[in-house]
Amino acid sequence: MPVFRHHLRSAVLPLVLCAGAGFAQPAADAAAFIDSAYNAAINSGTSAGRVGPAASSAPAPAQTDTGSRAAGSAGNASSGKTAGDSSLHAAPFDAATKAAAVGDTAEKRFDLAPYWGGGAGWSLGGMGLFSSWQQGLPDSLGKLSVVPSGILVDASTPVPQYRIVTHTLLQKEKPSIYSIYFPVSCVFAVATRETYHATLGGSALYMDKRYVAAVRMDTLHEMLTMKETMHFAAVSMDASINIAIPKKYFAITGVDMTFLSLGAGVYPLAWIGIRNAITVPDTFTNAFNDLKSTIAPHLKSLDAFGTGAVWRIGMCTIRTLAPTDGMRVGLYYTGQWYGRFESNGRQIMESDLKSKPGSATHPISCVNHRMEISFSLLKSLKKQEPQKAKVDAHEAD
């Protein structure tokens, strides 16, 4: 560019000087015009290459002296900026730059940070303790030591009256054949990786069954009602390892990860409670009180505490609901063992549940096999940083 300016002045100035002394002032004006045009071109090119607030729309003032022009040229050369240089033009963000900017502010998956949660489930299967109790229920007159028919003496009259009565056992409510309970649980993830999750958890369960029957005195057209209920509750602590299944082998639409789950734990506390009640009618009080005294010893009442163990294998999935929230659904086979039940320092035997002669030498225990479905809501324990979008003014345009 300086070379171009030199040739331009060399070509024009001699022509002006040849015009004579009368044209001296127009010659000086022509030289100033050439200098102004040169500087305007330099400033215009520089302004076109600048980006952002540094760019100025005002034209640069004309520089007429040679020293100022030399300083301007040296400054532009040292900064690497020349008129028409393509590096001065604004370059739009390409796809890679935008992806990098988004990646810096993207939320991390909540399930790869420590999380906790709670939920409930549904469990169906065997429960040996209730099976033993049901075998000993008084479901016949013989088990209650009540004869089918007998003579009733009514001493309330001046002359005692004797009546022949017939007893009939009516079973109003039998225990359910299904052993179902709805456990509540909590979980805490102690280690989370792309390939596995290690968790600690706890759960609590409760279930009961009830038996209701009545002994009817046909002659008096009245009945005695008896009820016996068994309660069971337990609290567990367990640990599990959940191994991620690659999606190329097994995938479920709508979930983030699918796991093969293996777990084991203990029941530090298990409780058995049996309660009974007998209701007699308001009429024929003496006769029914005698019948109640005969029946009462055959109904059980018990409080016992024991321990147990649990093991589990199955599959579970995790689905993200929000940046810090998710849901876990699991389907498991669950094995349980309960035993070592004691009441007032005495170990509980089979006869305490079954009322079966000859079984007192066997402490009560059982192994159960069950199917369980669980649902848990999860919450990340890692504080999420707010998004910081870094977008240039040219991207906004």
Q: Do the domain assignments include residue 236?
A: yes
Question: What's the rounded Cα separation, in Å, for the pair 90 and 105?
Answer: 25
Residue 47's domain comprises 2-51+62-80
Question: What's the rounded Cα separation, in Å, for the pair 338 and 364?
Answer: 9
The closest alpha carbon to 240, from 262, 223, 221, 260, belongs to 262
Check residue 282 and give its pLDDT. Answer: 84
pTM here is 0.67
Tell me: do 235 and 282 sit in the same domain: yes
Tell me: do 73 and 117 sit in the same domain: no
Q: Do the domain assignments include residue 345?
A: yes
Tell me: do 18 and 114 sit in the same domain: no
Question: What's the rounded Cα separation, in Å, for the pair 200 and 153?
Answer: 67
Question: What's the rounded Cα separation, in Å, for the pair 233 and 72?
Answer: 91
Q: Do the domain assignments include residue 86?
A: no
Check residue 9 and give its pLDDT. Answer: 52
pLDDT in tens, the chain (397 residues): 454 455 445 544 444 444 444 444 544 555 565 566 556 555 555 444 444 444 444 444 444 444 444 444 444 444 444 444 444 444 444 544 444 444 444 445 677 778 999 999 999 999 999 999 998 898 888 888 888 876 666 555 565 555 667 888 888 999 999 999 999 999 999 988 889 999 999 999 999 999 999 998 877 788 899 999 999 999 999 999 999 999 888 888 888 889 999 999 999 999 999 999 999 888 777 778 888 998 999 899 999 999 999 999 999 999 999 888 999 999 999 999 999 999 999 999 988 887 655 556 789 999 999 999 999 999 998 766 554 444 444 444 4
Check residue 201 and give its pLDDT. Answer: 96
Angle in degrees, CA 80, 83, 84, rounded to 5:
105
Tell me: do 267 and 322 sit in the same domain: yes
Question: What's the rounded Cα separation, in Å, for the pair 106 and 288?
Answer: 78
Check residue 189 and give its pLDDT. Answer: 93
Helix (H, G, I), strand (E, B) or coil at 140: coil
Q: Domain count of the chain? A: 2
Tell me: do 241 and 327 sit in the same domain: yes
Question: What's the rounded Cα separation, in Å, for the pair 262 and 311?
Answer: 8
Tell me: do 75 and 178 sit in the same domain: no
Q: Please give the backbone phi and psi of residue 139, each rounded to the nearest 5 degrees, phi first.
A: -100, 20
Q: Please give the backbone phi and psi of residue 275, each rounded to the nearest 5 degrees, phi first.
A: -125, 150
What is the per-residue DSSP string for 254-305? T-SEEEEEEEEEEEEEEEEEEEEEEE--SSSHHHHHHHHHHHGGGS--EEEE
Check residue 69 and give its pLDDT. Answer: 46
Q: Are 295 and 278 in contact (CB under 8 A)?
A: yes
Report the CATH number at residue 230: 2.40.160.20
Torsion of CA 275, 280, 285, 289, to 10 degrees: -30
Tell me: do 121 and 38 sit in the same domain: no
Task: Report how far apart, in Å, the C-alpha atoms of 258 and of each of 69, 196, 317, 374 are.
Answer: 72, 10, 4, 15
Tell me: do 115 and 36 sit in the same domain: no
Q: Do the domain assignments include residue 89?
A: no
Q: Please give the backbone phi and psi of residue 49, each rounded to the nearest 5 degrees, phi first.
A: -90, -10
Question: What's the rounded Cα separation, in Å, for the pair 369 and 348?
Answer: 22
Q: Are 355 and 294 in contact (CB under 8 A)?
A: no
Q: Do the domain assignments include residue 393?
A: no
Tell me: do 71 and 134 sit in the same domain: no
What is the number of other CB atoms lying within 10 angstroms of the CB of residue 48?
Answer: 14
Q: Are 355 and 139 in contact (CB under 8 A)?
A: no
Question: What's the rounded Cα separation, in Å, for the pair 264 and 291?
Answer: 50
Angle in degrees, CA 366, 344, 135, rounded to 5:
35
